[in-house]
Structure 1
Amino acid sequence: MIRPKTAPAPLTEIWRGPIAESVHLGHAVICGPGGDVIEAWGDPDVTAYPRSSCKMIQALPLIESGAADAAGLGPEQLALACASHQGDPIHTGRVEAWVTGLGLGEDDLRCGSHMPYGEETAHALIRAGDKPCQLHNNCSGKHAGFLTLNRHLAGHADYVDLDHPVQRACLAAFEEVTGESSPGYGIDGCSAPNFLGSLRGMGRAMAYFATATEGADARQTAAARLRDAMIAHPDLVAGEGRACTLLMRACTEPVALKTGAEGFFIAILPQRGIGIALKIADGATRGAECAIATLLVRLGALDADHPSARMFMNKVLTNCRGLKVGAIRPVPGLLR
């Protein structure tokens, strides 16, 4: 994260007993239907990597190019293209079928492998004496989308290369929907380039996804289909017990949510034409999950008393004996 011009604002507090023991600082923007910032905390112009929070942007060329329709992709595959899934069978089975349907195999992916985030699935692998494969990677759906686009473009096998037509298309889409030129890139955990942008730009992009209408034009159609696929399949976007899945299910209106590594989070609220982007300065996921839940409550899209809202917005901390010793909660004023 490039040093902000304005200091990060307190967003989330960690309480123990009578005091706030720790505070997570960060930056957040809420952008309206025209893309303008209507509320902000910290520095709206801070530059950061959106990490996996921008997967729906990376998936725009998949649809705009005609590759998705040529491959017969439906909402489930589009949701997986935007996902950071936890490697459970509902994820890996669908990605495997998708890649196989392209006439390709797991070894054509370029995301690498890691243990599945789903605890039961990870334990099952260990018990069986098996190792994870690339299908278990949380980004395997995004990479299946890259493979689909690559086949359509007839590109070479290393589709994650910066100068590959797939990544050039992703950069063009990123700069167009954020409304700014990216000042650089880093290599993400899955080996794909992740382009730098401002928080304002990401908020603007999410507002674009919120207002996109299928049939208006190719870009809006792509954005609307990806947004609606995420909303329709929260279990594929993340997985059971994960913040994106639980909070999307809990919201009182359609909302698409997507976490990113190092404390990034976005929200797309189509009924309001609103986009949210936030970044916790120290990269803490717990701070980002609390902040996004709080902003959803602030906007009236989430009931503060819903168990999933309480899980992330007012999470009780227990010690090794199960005693309640503290809580994670938003700073005073973030709820209004």
Structure 2
Amino acid sequence: MPAPLAEIWRGPFAESLHFGHAVICGADGEITDCWGDPQAVVLPRSSAKMIQALPLVTSGAADSRGLSERQLALACASHQGATIHVEAVQNWLRDLGLTDTDLRCGPEMTRDRDLAREMIKNDDTPCQWHNNCSGKHSGFLTLNQHLGGGPEYVQPDHPVQQACLDSFETVTAQSSPGYGIDGCSAPNFATTMHGMARAMSFFATAHDRSDSLSRAAARLAAAMYAFPEMVAGEGRACTLLMRAAKEPVALKTGAEGYFIAILPKRGLGVALKVQDGATRASECAIAALLVRMGVVEAQDPSVVQFLNPDIVNRRGIVTGQIRPAADLMH
């Protein structure tokens, strides 16, 4: 059964409760802590992006194109669509000799308020490079050129996606039971909560191994540690919590209440899923687990806004608070 992960309080009353699953795996891929059902089969959504980027590196495509560490971080990103992200994608596509029309992620309005204001004022139409997954898709296109595949690189039977599936099943150490089509049109492969946490522990311990897949995982994780602003963006949980951490940590949100953490100094991988898909609960729960493990301080302002954010009404009155379930903290 799912376990309580986050509580919504209004005054002295616990008004709502979010349930879900969370698994922490050690260096051997075995479970060290869990809440809920570690065998629950779930789509990890964008929390799997660093796995989807593995073939970009293992194939030699990243080195052949001279991709920077910043670009590798962008390949793992669900970015804000801010100017720094859009320009990085535009430059990447230009280097490939490609344009916005070669992407298959679909147009999306930027999530960056300043850029959105400017676009509305100028009556600009959103493009695919504004899409929060355009960095991942730039990676797909780079791999596709290297493999010589056809233009529809998001099709499940395309060599790009077959390479992603092979990497996914290797690092989760499980055969995927299937896939759903993600918001960006690429297949998103399912696995158990244990499988996903095991995959994150693979990334967390990759620097201790020398095989090609481990070297690729270590490079991608290091890129995420180094460029948290490319992984998400200003004001976002992934970026702020990575900056607040007292040690290297890679964090990645996914749609429908998913979150992962990679902790290389501890050799730990974390996978978390809020069953009702609420982002407010997944951000609270991942912050709580990071506090529990001593990775961040509970009093850090960047942590508080996800761990214990106040609920404020339209008159600015604090009416309640989001809190992690007690079992997550103790």
Q: Does 1:15 align with 2:9?
A: yes
Per-residue displacement from partner, 1:123-157 (whole Å, max 9, x unpaired)? 11101100110000000000000000000000000
Report the alpha carbon displacement of residue 333 of structure 1 after superposing the two structures with TM. Answer: 2.6
Which of 183, 190, 194 is equivalent to 2:177? 183
The equivalent residue for 1:335 is 329
- In the TM superposition, what are the counterparts of 1:86-97 in structure 2 within 5 Å? 86-97=80-91
Counting matched residue pairs gives 330
Q: Does 1:58 align with 2:52?
A: yes
The equivalent residue for 2:154 is 160
Which of 97, 100, 117 is equivalent to 2:94? 100
CA distance in 2, matches of 1:333, 1:140: 37
Which of 169, 179, 194 is equivalent to 2:188? 194
Amino acid at match of 1:180: Q
The equivalent residue for 1:245 is 239
Structure 1: give runs of 5+ residues left out of the alignment.
1-6
CA distance in 2, matches of 1:268, 1:214: 14
Identical positions, percent: 62
Report the alpha carbon displacement of residue 214 of structure 1 after superposing the two structures with TM. Answer: 7.4
CA distance in 1, matches of 2:143, 2:229: 24
TM-score (norm 1): 0.97
- In the TM superposition, what are the counterparts of 1:162-241 in structure 2 within 5 Å? 162-213=156-207, 216-241=210-235
The equivalent residue for 1:4 is none
Per-residue displacement from partner, 1:13-35 (whole Å, max 9, x unpaired)? 00001011000000000101111
Which of 292, 298, 301 is equivalent to 1:304? 298
CA distance in 2, matches of 1:52, 1:160: 15
Report the alpha carbon displacement of residue 215 of structure 1 after superposing the two structures with TM. Answer: 7.0
The equivalent residue for 1:36 is 30
Q: Does 1:111 align with 2:105?
A: yes
Corresponding residue SS for 2:29: coil
Report the alpha carbon displacement of residue 309 of structure 1 after superposing the two structures with TM. Answer: 1.0
Corresponding residue SS for 1:68: helix
Q: Does 1:256 align with 2:247?
A: no
Amino acid at match of 1:209: F
Report the alpha carbon displacement of residue 77 of structure 1 after superposing the two structures with TM. Answer: 0.5
CA distance in 2, matches of 1:213, 1:243: 25
Structure 2: give runs of 5+ residues left out of the alignment.
none
CA distance in 2, matches of 1:281, 1:190: 22
Amino acid at match of 1:268: I
Moved beyond 4 Å, runs of 4+: none
Q: Does 1:124 align with 2:118?
A: yes
Are the equivalent residues in 2 in contact too, given 1:27–1:280 (CA < 8 A)? Answer: yes
Are the equivalent residues in 2 in contact too, given 1:263–1:280 (CA < 8 A)? Answer: yes
Q: Does 1:276 align with 2:267?
A: no
Query: What's the RMSD between the two structures over aligned residues?
Result: 0.8
CA distance in 1, matches of 2:292, 2:64: 42
Amino acid at match of 2:201: A
TM-score (norm 2): 0.99
Corresponding residue SS for 2:304: helix
Amino acid at match of 1:151: Q
Per-residue displacement from partner, 1:25-49 (whole Å, max 9, x unpaired)? 0000010111101000000010010
Amino acid at match of 1:157: P
The equivalent residue for 2:259 is 265
Report the alpha carbon displacement of residue 169 of structure 1 after superposing the two structures with TM. Answer: 0.1
